[in-house]
Structure 1
Amino acid sequence: MHAATDVLLRRFRDGVGEIVPLVSLWAHGSLGAGDYQPGHSDLDLIAVVETPVTMEQWRRIKGLHRGLDLPLADLLHCSYLPLEELADPRVEHVTWAHEQIFRRPVTAVTRRELHTAPLVLHGPPPAELLPAVSDAVLADFVRTDLREFWLDKTRGRRRWLRDVWVDLGLLTVARASVTLREGRLITKREALDVLAGMGAPEAVLADVRARRYGTPRPVLSRFRRGRLTRAFVRSAIGKVLAEGPGET
Structure 2
Amino acid sequence: MQTDALLDRFLAHLAPLDPVAVWAHGSLAGGDYQEGRSDLDLIAVLDGIGPRTVWRLALLHARLRREPLSPLLHCTYLTPTTMEDPARPHLTWAHEELYKRPVTPVTRTELHAFGRVLHGRPPAGLLPPVPDGQLTRFVVRDQRDYWRPALADARLWTRDVWVDLGLLTFARASATLSDGRLISKREALDLLPGLGAPGELVEDIRGRRYGTPVPLGEEWTARRAELTRAYLGPAIDALVASYG
TM-score in terms of structure 1 length: 0.93
For structure 2, which runs of at least 5 residues remain unmatched after alignment?
A: none
Q: Which whole-Å CA distance do the structure 1 matches of 2:53 and 2:213 have between them?
A: 46
What code does the residue aligned with 1:5 have?
Answer: T
Q: Which whole-Å CA distance do the structure 1 matches of 2:198 and 2:187 have between them?
A: 16
Q: Which whole-Å CA distance do the structure 1 matches of 2:190 and 2:31 have between them?
A: 16
Contact 1:27 1:120 in 2 (8 A): yes
1:181 paired with 2:178, answer: yes
Q: Kindly tell me: are residues 86 and 212 of structure 1, through their superposed partners in 2, closer, same or farther at Cα, counting changes over 3 Å?
A: same
Q: Which whole-Å CA distance do the structure 1 matches of 2:152 and 2:166 have between them?
A: 13
Residue 217 of structure 1 deviates from its aligned partner by: 6.2
Residue 148 of structure 1 deviates from its aligned partner by: 0.8
SS of the residue 1:122 aligns to: strand
Q: Which whole-Å CA distance do the structure 2 matches of 1:137 and 1:183 have between them?
A: 12
Q: Which whole-Å CA distance do the structure 2 matches of 1:169 and 1:84 have between them?
A: 33
Q: 1:14 aligns with which of 12, 15, 19?
A: 12
Residue 134 of structure 1 deviates from its aligned partner by: 2.6
Q: Deviations over 1:47-100 (max 9, x none)?
A: 01112x111221221121122121111000000001111211121110001111
1:85 paired with 2:82, answer: yes
2:233: which partner in 1? 234
- Residues 1-248 of structure 1 aligned to structure 2 (within 5 Å): 3-18=1-16, 20-51=17-48, 53-68=49-64, 69-214=66-211, 221-244=220-243, 247=244
Q: Which whole-Å CA distance do the structure 2 matches of 1:243 and 1:79 have between them?
A: 33
Aligned residues: 241
Residue 135 of structure 1 deviates from its aligned partner by: 3.7
Identity %: 52
Residue 149 of structure 1 deviates from its aligned partner by: 0.6
Q: Which whole-Å CA distance do the structure 1 matches of 2:6 and 2:57 have between them?
A: 15
Q: Which whole-Å CA distance do the structure 1 matches of 2:70 and 2:214 have between them?
A: 26
Q: Which whole-Å CA distance do the structure 2 matches of 1:215 and 1:162 have between them?
A: 17
Q: Kindly tell me: are residues 169 and 12 of structure 1, through their superposed partners in 2, closer, same or farther at Cα, counting changes over 3 Å?
A: same
SS of the residue 2:228 aligns to: helix
SS of the residue 2:43 aligns to: strand
Q: Which whole-Å CA distance do the structure 1 matches of 2:132 and 2:231 have between them?
A: 27
Q: Which whole-Å CA distance do the structure 2 matches of 1:76 and 1:36 have between them?
A: 13
Q: Kindly tell me: are residues 206 and 28 of structure 1, through their superposed partners in 2, closer, same or farther at Cα, counting changes over 3 Å?
A: same
Residue 219 of structure 1 deviates from its aligned partner by: 7.5
User: 81-90 or 162-171, which moves further after superposition?
Assistant: 81-90
TM-score in terms of structure 2 length: 0.95
Q: Which whole-Å CA distance do the structure 2 matches of 1:27 and 1:39 have between them?
A: 16
Q: Kindly tell me: are residues 88 and 216 of structure 1, through their superposed partners in 2, closer, same or farther at Cα, counting changes over 3 Å?
A: closer
SS of the residue 1:84 aligns to: coil
Q: Deviations over 1:176-229 (max 9, x none)?
A: 011011112000000011111011111111110111001686977111111111
What code does the residue aligned with 1:206 have?
Answer: E
